[in-house]
């Protein structure tokens, strides 16, 4: 449908000449960590230089604190004005630690009421992905569909509003993003037949400013004829016409990952999750805009462009992973791009002004598609890997629905090397879909999907990726899936954690392991680094295994004597090395 110029771009992608990224990451580092991705570009890059590949081997734990919660500790702390803010998994306690005092005593803790029914509506552990600091407020989501704003100084609740409907299967573990006076939030529930959306709340009051559906007619997804210009698609009501019958009304499209923002283009970017149910024969068509990236105006929510990574998803390849905004030299020309590591195993380099795919190459073992056709923007699918209730048990699909990389584990970008640092999962799956009816307030899934280790037998890894050439630079193989986020620093050190509880520091240029420390429980969170009031550089991370890995690894949560389980066959021994336990760890030289 598009002129063949995209092919030309593809052919002319030479070398990795990388310009420093623009936007927030280019500003001098103030040593704080005020939002999940560190900056609006979601680079998770810190300009702090005290820790280097030469001295990080001397890193030592200097403080830790038990959160009193055993569930999966995803997300990351914030550090603002010498205070560290920590949000726990359900019951979503907010701790404020005074970093200016010895032992970092609490200034206050905030304990909201959270409906315990949320425990039954959260698909895969009762996790939380963190808070956002803006204008003297800590803003975050409670699992039960409420968003709260808390005074960052006093811990006083400023507002607490209901944004999502638990009875429809909507929960809210994602971290909000604040742009100017808008708080952007979205629901989980791709496994409950929700009708996904993004909402903007007023930062001062919590009042609803606008709501945009991710699927449905143009008026509901805020696609206006003058302003909505997808690069590959033409026509109106695509969020309606690409679904059979009324299936879009219960078609999922959750927002459980991360958001990014480009101030110059005034565009917010976020990934949309899977269509429901998993059985694709119950929802014929492309199912737009599930498994897509959407670009919206934060002011009024207008949809500017959209691109679908996996049309008519047959494999639960949610696209909720972060969109990292950088400027790269492609074909001798600086392009404003977003880089996205999709669950479907392809890494995409996309022009973030218009949604044109510039590079799409597999970063993991992929067998459901041969490649992504850059002319049409569509994957070239191996028809033997289509799933559905009439196809029985379809064997050995790679990647598994955990993704070649999980959206849970946001990658980082270093402008010094020009590379992305990415935790990966090497699993494949069988997919046995069956017909399901949606019953409000119950799961709407309809597939069993057992996993096996992918080629090589290792289940995870950590890699450096060149998004200009679409090539892996180096890779470390890990025994278990790697589900931690990443931070990379101006000292050329990258940090990540493993499910068996090691926090690791590697040389960002070579991938050489420089340091590791066992934190006591598996890591599914994202490390941060900050400058303390004493001028020293610190690294902080949560331990506390959770999410699918706590559910699959058998009895790693031992707090309920009425619930004892066997581990899944493919990961029988992880429970030898970890059990649940949420702690905040701080390290320094």
Partner 1 sequence: MKLLPLVGLMLAAGCRAKQPDDATIADSAAAPLSVPYDQHILAGGTAPRGVSESNPFAGDEKSAAEGKRLFSSMNCDGCHGGGEGWVAPSLSDGRWRYGGSDAALFQSVYYGRPKGMPAFGGLLSAPIIWKLVTYVRSLPPPKAVPTQGW
Choose the stretch contacting partner 1; rule: CB under 8 A; options: 92-100, 121-129, 176-184, 286-294: 121-129
Q: Residue 322 has what DSSP assignment?
A: -
Judged by beta carbon, residue 157 or residue 566, the one nearer partner 1 is 566
Residue selected from 50, 64, 442, 469 as contacting partner 1 according to rule CB under 8 A: 442
Radius of gyration of the chain (CA): 22
- Active-site positions read 191, 274, 316
434 binds partner 1 (CB under 8 A): yes
Coil/strand/helix, residue 6: helix
If one asks whether residue 165 binds partner 1 (CB under 8 A), the answer comes out as no
Q: Burial of 119 by CB count in 10 Å (0-12 exposed, 13-18 middle, 19+ buried)?
A: middle
103 binds partner 1 (CB under 8 A): no
Pick the stretch among 214-222, 394-402, 538-546, 569-577 that binds partner 1 (CB under 8 A).
Answer: 569-577
CA distance 386 to 170: 28
Q: Is residue 443 a contact point for partner 1 (CB under 8 A)?
A: yes
Q: Interface residues for partner 1 in 289-308 (CB under 8 A)?
A: none
**Rule CB under 8 A: is residue 563 a binding residue for partner 1?**
yes
Distances (CA, A) of 375 to 5, 6, 358, 569: 8, 6, 10, 42
Stated as kind and residue range, the H or E segment containing 337 is strand 333-341
Least CB distance to partner 1 at residue 442 (A): 4
Closer to partner 1 at the Cβ: 192 or 542?
A: 192
Q: Give the C-alpha separation, 542 to 83, whole Å.
A: 16
d(CA 400, CA 198): 27
The reply on whether position 566 binds partner 1 by CB under 8 A is yes
Number of residues that bind partner 1 (CB under 8 A): 35
For residues 200 and 545, which CB has a smaller minimum distance to partner 1 in the complex? 545
Query: Would you say 120 or 455 has its CB closer to partner 1?
Result: 120
Contact between 448 and partner 1 per CB under 8 A: yes
Candidate residues 54, 518, 565, 569; the one interacting with partner 1 per rule CB under 8 A: 565
State yes or no: cis peptide before 568, omega within 30 of 0.
no
Across 489-505, b (16+ Cβ under 10 Å) vs e yields bbbbbbbbbbbbbbbbb
Binding mask of the shown chain, residues 520 to 559, with x at each position contacting partner 1 by CB under 8 A? -------------------------------x--xx----
The yes or no reply on residue 437 touching partner 1 (CB under 8 A) is yes
Quick note: the x/- pattern for partner 1 over 323-362, rule CB under 8 A, is ----------------------------------------
- Closest among 514, 522, 532 to 497, alpha carbons compared: 522
- What CA–CA distance (Å, rounded) separates 290 from 479? 32
Using CB under 8 A, pick the residue from 102, 105, 235, 561 that binds partner 1.
Answer: 561
User: CA dihedral in degrees (425, 431, 434, 438; nearest 10)?
Assistant: 10
Judge contact between 98 and 108, C-beta under 8 A: no
In the complex, the residues that contact partner 1 under the rule CB under 8 A are: 116-126, 191, 434, 436-437, 439, 441-445, 448, 551, 554-555, 560-566, 573, 575-576
């Amino acid at each position: 449908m598009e002129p063949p110029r995209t092919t030309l771009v593809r052919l002319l992608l030479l070398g990795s000449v990388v310009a420093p990224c623009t936007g927030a990451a280019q500003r001098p580092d103030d040593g704080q960590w005020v939002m999940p991705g560190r900056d609006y570009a979601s680079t998770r890059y810190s300009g702090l230089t005290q820790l280097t590949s030469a001295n990080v081997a001397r890193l030592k734990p200097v403080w830790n604190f038990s959160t009193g919660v055993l569930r999966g500790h995803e997300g990351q702390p914030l550090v603002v004005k010498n205070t560290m803010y920590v949000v726990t998994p359900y019951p979503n306690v907010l701790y404020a630690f005074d970093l200016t005092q010895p032992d970092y005593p609490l200034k206050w803790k905030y304990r909201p009421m959270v409906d315990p029914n949320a425990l039954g509506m959260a698909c895969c552990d009762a996790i939380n992905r963190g808070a956002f600091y803006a204008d003297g407020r800590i803003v975050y989501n409670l699992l039960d569909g409420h968003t709260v704003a808390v005074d960052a100084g006093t811990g006083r609740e400023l507002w607490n509003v209901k944004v999502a409907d638990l009875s429809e299967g909507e929960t809210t573990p994602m971290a909000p993003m604040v742009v100017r006076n808008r708080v952007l939030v979205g629901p989980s529930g791709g496994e409950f037949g929700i009708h996904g959306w993004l909402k903007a709340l007023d930062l001062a009051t919590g009042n609803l400013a606008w709501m945009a559906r991710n699927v449905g007619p143009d008026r509901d997804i805020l696609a206006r004829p003058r302003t909505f210009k997808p690069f590959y698609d033409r026509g109106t009501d695509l969020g309606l016409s690409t679904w059979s019958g009324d299936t879009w009304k219960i078609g999922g499209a959750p927002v459980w990952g991360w958001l990014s923002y480009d101030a110059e283009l005034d565009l917010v970017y976020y990934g949309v999750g899977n269509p429901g149910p998993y059985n694709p024969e119950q929802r014929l068509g492309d199912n737009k805009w599930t498994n897509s990236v959407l670009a919206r105006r934060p002011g009024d929510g207008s949809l500017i462009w959209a691109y679908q990574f996996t049309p008519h998803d047959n494999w639960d390849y949610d696209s909720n992973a972060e969109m990292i905004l950088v400027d790269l030299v492609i074909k001798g020309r600086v392009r404003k791009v977003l880089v996205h590591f999709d669950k479907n195993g392809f890494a995409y380099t996309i022009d973030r002004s218009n949604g044109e795919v510039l590079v799409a190459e597999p970063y993991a073992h992929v067998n459901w598609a041969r490649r992504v056709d850059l002319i049409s923007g569509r994957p070239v699918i191996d028809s033997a890997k289509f799933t559905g209730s009439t196809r029985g048990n379809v064997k050995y699909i790679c990647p598994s629905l955990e993704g070649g990389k999980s959206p849970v584990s946001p990658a980082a970008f270093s402008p010094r090397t020009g590379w992305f640092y990415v935790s990966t999962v090497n699993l494949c799956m069988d997919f046995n879909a069956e017909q399901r009816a949606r019953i409000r307030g119950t799961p709407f899934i309809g597939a069993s999907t057992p996993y096996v280790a992918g080629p090589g037998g290792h289940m995870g890894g950590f890699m450096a990726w060149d998004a200009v050439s679409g090539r892996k630079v180096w890779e470390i193989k890990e025994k278990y899936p790697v589900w931690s986020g990443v931070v990379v620093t101006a000292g050329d050190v990258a940090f990540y954690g493993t499910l068996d509880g090691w926090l690791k520091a590697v040389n960002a240029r070579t991938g050489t392991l420089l340091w590791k420390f066992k934190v006591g429980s598996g890591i599914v969170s994202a490390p941060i680094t900050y400058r303390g009031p004493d001028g020293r550089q610190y690294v902080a991370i949560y331990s506390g295994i959770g999410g699918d890995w706590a559910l699959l690894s058998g009895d790693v949560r031992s707090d309920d004597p009425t619930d004892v389980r066997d581990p899944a066959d493919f990961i029988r021994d992880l429970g030898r090395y970890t059990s649940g336990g949420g702690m905040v760890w701080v390290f320094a030289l």
